[in-house]
Amino acid sequence: MPIARNPKIFSRKIKKKWVILEPNKEHVRELDEVASLIWEMAKKPITTEEIARKISSVYNQSLETVQNDVDEFVKKYLKEGFLNQVSD
């Protein structure tokens, strides 16, 4: 199922990295380079498979390893409310 950024979450790109204002508005979260790429791609609905293929290509890493890392990232950010599952 595709995922996308939660439109209620404020984020801003600063230089090449994204910064997210956490829902309680007390903390900001700075995303590393790969997380920033995922966040950028999730601007519109996208599947984890599409994300993994892109990251695998950009960083010349095995698709299986990248897919596992993307799945963990997405699971965490869905749970925290930064990402939403969207219907096809």
DSSP of 13-25, one letter per residue? EETTEEEEE-TTS
Query: pLDDT tens digits for the chain (88 residues)?
Result: 899 999 999 999 998 889 998 777 778 899 999 999 999 999 999 999 999 999 999 999 999 999 999 999 999 999 999 999 998 6
CATH number of 3-82: 1.10.10
Query: Where are the domains positioned within the chain?
Result: 3-82
Q: What is the rounded distance in angstroms from the CA atom of residue 59 to the CA atom of residue 27?
A: 30
For CA atoms 69, 72, 73, 75, the dihedral sign is positive
